[in-house]
Structures are given as C-alpha cells and as structure tokens.
Structure 1
Amino acid sequence: NCGIYFPEIKRDPGRYLHTCPESVKKWLRQLKNAGKILMLITSSHSDYCRLLCEYILGNDFEYLFDIVITNALKPGFFSHLPSQRPFRTLENDEEQEALPSLDKPGWYSQGNAVHLYELLKKMTGKPEPKVVYFGDSMHSDIFPACHYSNWETVLILEELRGDRDGKPEDSEPLEKKGKYEGPKAKPLNRLSKKWGSFFIDSVSGLENTEDSLVYTWSCKRISAYSTIAIPSIEAIAELPLDYKFTSFSSNNSKTAGYYPNPPLVLSNDGKLKTK
C-alpha cells in the first residue's frame, strides 16, 4: 500500500492489466489433468502476485498450480546454493522461517532451483524429471534456467507478435495450429529508427566493400539458451499437448526454434554472418 504504483494498480487493475484468454486457462487445466506438475515462479512478492493473478486468471488461480514461488529473486533462484537462498513459508503474505528442504507442494517464498528439483523428483518418482520453463526475460529466466539448471526453456518474445500475422503457415494442418482469440495483436516496431532491428545488424565493410548483415547479440542468445521462442502462450494454447516443436538445437539452427515462424528479417538466414 506504499508509494504511487501499487495503490493505483490495486485501485483499478483493469486499467493496467489484461485478463488471461480462456484458451490459455483451458491449456493450463489440460496440462494439469494430463498429470503435469505446474509451477508459478515470480520475483514479485506474494501480495502483489495474488493481486495480479486473481485479476488475470481468476480468484481460483491457485488451483491451477501445484507450486507457487514468490519473491524468487531471479536469476539468483537458479544460480545460488540452497544455503544462500533457502525457501521460506508464508503467513498472511509475511515470510516465516527458513526451510532446510522442500518437502511438499504449496506456496513458498524465495528458495532455489536445487531444492525445487529435489521436490519434483519426489513428486514424479523420476530420478531426472524433465522441466519446461516459460519466461520472458533472457537475464532472469531463460539464461539461468538453461545454464544453471539445464531445463528446457521457452522464451516468450513479444518482438514476434504480429510477425506474419502471428499465425502458422497455411501448409500446416489445421488441428496443429495455435490461434489467437479476439483481435490480432498490434505488430511491434521491430525496426527501431534509433536502435535498428532486434534480430540483425548491419556492419560497415571495408573500403569498396558492401555492408554485411550479422546476428545481434540478443538474437544469438535466443538460439543459444532457448529451446524454442514464441510470441505468447496464446499462440500455442490450442495445439495438441503432444505437438512436436522444432528446437533451435536442431541442426544447430538459429531460426528453427521460432514458432510459428522465424521473424521475417531472418528469412535471409543464409546471408547472415556470426561475429
């Protein structure tokens, strides 16, 4: 309740937030009904997380997730040792005592990926359960989850919104298409007049030579640390749960992992250079 930002969000969340599409909530329920363990990991504090999720997902949002972790302090959640970042219980959104380990699903604060993975082993009965982690930050989500925890990662990349209308090619079978509900997302300005493209850059050549196109640092990080990249969860929500995505690791490709299609600016992939 302090400051300007939080009281304003609390007073009128509909002014700043979009509700979650029904297709995404249905997708979450389908995953849970299929026996998947669903986790929500956020660096937001529990009271703010609850406020947002109740508006976005509904008052019963907690039933969608087996484990909720708030104040996760990413990327440290992945890189720190358990002794440096123990899990803590919550009481009325206030952090309580530190836990020596994580023994059961529930709502926790802070924590670390090591103890979380041990809990997943116990819950699944598998020695190496496979984790697919969705995130929209390369710094806080994708790189640390891939590098430190070796999890499969799905980058939610808003720069893909509106590219090719955000839909798969017509050649793909209808039953395998993800689709958007409501109006199309407004395309972002992927070619900033100030910064240039998010994906490629032009490097001046030597005298009497042409400029060459190269992948940007951000573009190279996407293919290096993401399993796939998507414009939104809504883009895949109506795909079959057993849909087989093509990953960036396929043939060491820098474009294969973009779903539903690579960005248009990467269509000349063969002419691009890595520097």
Structure 2
Amino acid sequence: MKNAGKVLLLITSSHSDYCRLVCEYILGKDFEELFDIIITNALKPGFFSCVPHQRPFRTLVNDVEESEGLPSLDKPGWYSQGNWPHLHELLKTMTGKPEPKVAYFGDSMRSDVFPATVFGKWETVMVVEEMEGDGVPKSDAAVSNEAQVEPQEKRGKFEGQGMKSPSAGSNQWGSYFVDMRRMEGDEEEHQKLTWCCHCIHTYSTMAIPSVEHIADLPLDYKFPRFSPDKPSTTGYYPRPPDSLLKRSEHL
C-alpha cells in the first residue's frame, strides 16, 4: 500500500513495548517499515476528542515518554499519546490534500469507530468477528493458517474439547445482530436490531469479520457501505450475517 502512495498509520492504546512485542510476532521484526506513523499509548477514545493542549504528542526514548509534549507533529515517526487535530495537520502535509481521506480499521465501537467517525470524520471499517458466528464463512487465508498450526500434542489442553470460538453464537443471548422480542399483549415474536447492530450501521462505513477477508482485494475495489437509505443487510463484506438475511425476508 505504501508503494501505491498510501499513508499507513497504526494507532493503539497499548504502550510501545507491548505494541512492539505483538507486532514483531505477527508482522515480523521489520514491522516498523510497514507504517509511516505509529502512535502508542493513544488513550482512545480521548485521542479523537481531546484538543492538543490536553493531550500533546510525546517522543519516545527506549520506550519511555519524554516529559515535555510536542507543540505540533511535524514529521512521520513513532510517537506516544497525542491528539487527532495534530495528526490531521500532519496528514494534510504528507498527502498534499486539504482534507485527506482516511479509512480507519478498528474492533471497538467505543474506542475506535464511534470517536473516529464523530470527531475525526474518518471512514471507518468495523471488524466484527461475530459475523463468523452468524453464517459468514472464514476467509481462505484463515482456513489455510489453521491447517498449518502446531501439532495436536503442542496445542493448549482446552483446544478440541468442545470449547466455543470467540465468534460463536450464544445459546443464552442469541444473535449479536438481531433480537427476538414479544410485545405486551402480542403472542408473536418480532425481530429487532440489537443495540450493537444499530451502532454498527450508524457509525461505521462498513463491517468485515477480519482483515484477512479483504487483504487480497485490489485497492480500487468498491465495497458496499451502510446507509439509512439502503437495506440493513448492505454494508457487510463478504456477505451479511444469517440473522439479518432472515430478518430481511420477513420485512
């Protein structure tokens, strides 16, 4: 993506040492070369809502924050804490555009999607692993990775003993996306969008079960997006959850 002229940034509320540990394991020792800007200890959602003097950017020396905050963000690099206005100014300089467009991926409505949409005016992609527990198939890459895992004798003692995956549906609570309600005096159950599903449609541009689902698509691929003028099944990639498809059949 950098070769295509895109600016890549990583924003995490984790501290720099933990971020480095995880990223080196997942992306490799040279993971820093993948990003133009890395921001750790971002303290989201405050990163998006606070003004610069409340939470300035700070440089790091051996994973320790400098005590004095930066008056502005002048160049790419690895920083700690910070705020959206100063980042926005740097992105304007780097892209040469007065209003640079940002596609931001996150798995938290509270810390990622809501503040980035409302305060940053960014396009947001909500990563919703519960989609895989509601009929959406795993990506080919995920299936391939699972086939290359460690031998059975090296796996955790609970694996393969009937434990549910994190994305599996709940027998007690039902679908993450659709709730069944019986109105007072009415024997028939009615399907309603859950609060979580309503927030996804309202504050995110689109939803995916994992980044692996879109990793091999071309950069100019056009995705469906959520809109109040479109059906509630529009905006999910690669397809909507089963519960939403069934609900749409009864509308």
Give the Cα separation in 1 of the matches to 2:135 and 2:171: 21
State whether structure 2 residue 83 is matched by structure 1 residue 112: yes
CA contact (8 A) 1:212 1:272 kept: no
Q: Please state whether the residue corresponding to 2:229 is helix, strand or coil.
A: helix
* TM-score, structure 1 normalization: 0.79
Match 2:239 to one of 245, 261, 271: 261
Contact 1:223 1:253 in 2 (8 A): no
Are the counterparts in 2 of residues 228 and 259 from structure 1 also a CA contact under 8 Å? yes
Tell me how far 1:197 sits from its aligned partner.
1.5
Change in Cα spacing, 1:272 to 1:70, as seen in structure 2 (3 Å) is farther
Q: TM-score, normalised by structure 2?
A: 0.87
Correspondences of 1:28-43 after superposition (within 5 Å) = 31-43=1-13
2:193 corresponds to: 215
Shift of 1:166: 2.0
Number of the residue aligned with 1:145: 116
Cα 1:53/1:183, change in 2 over 3 Å = closer
Cα deviation code 1:153-199 (max 9, x no counterpart): 001111012644526xxxxxxxxxx7425156968322x12222111
Q: Match of 1:172?
A: none
Q: CA RMSD in A?
A: 2.0
1:95 aligns with 2:65: yes
User: 1:187, 1:149 → 2: CA distance?
Assistant: 30
User: Which residue of the partner structure matches residue 174 of structure 1?
Assistant: none
**Number of aligned residue pairs:** 232
Are residues 163 and 207 of structure 1, via their aligned partners in 2, closer, same or farther at CA, if it must alter by over 3 Å? closer
Match of residue 128 from structure 1:
99
Worse-matched range after superposition: 262-271 or 137-146 = 262-271
Which residue identity does 1:246 align to in structure 2? P
| Pairing partner for 1:63 from 24, 29, 33 | 33
Deviation of 1:227 after TM superposition, in Å, equals 0.5
Deviates more, 1:206-215 or 1:233-242: 206-215
Deviation of the 1:206 alpha carbon: 2.8
| Structure 2 gaps, min length 5 | 148-164
User: Which secondary structure state, in structure 2, belongs to the residue aligned with residue 267 of structure 1?
Assistant: helix
Question: How far does the alpha carbon of each residue in 1:32-62 deviate from its partner, in whole angstroms, 9 at most, with x for none?
Answer: 1100000000000001111111111000000
Q: Cα distance 1:265–1:226, how it changes in 2: closer, same or farther (>3 A)?
A: same
SS of residue paired to 2:91 = helix
Q: Give the match's secondary structure for 1:166.
A: coil
2:127–2:208 Cα contact (<8 Å) kept: yes
1:149 maps to amino acid = G
Structure 1: give runs of 5+ residues left out of the alignment. 1-30, 168-177
1:7-22 mapped onto 2 (5 Å cutoff): none
Larger displacement relative to structure 2 (193-202 or 36-45): 193-202
Once the 2 structures are TM-superposed, how far is the Cα of residue 135 of structure 1 from its aligned partner? 0.4
Q: Separation in 1 of the partners of 2:220 and 2:183?
A: 47
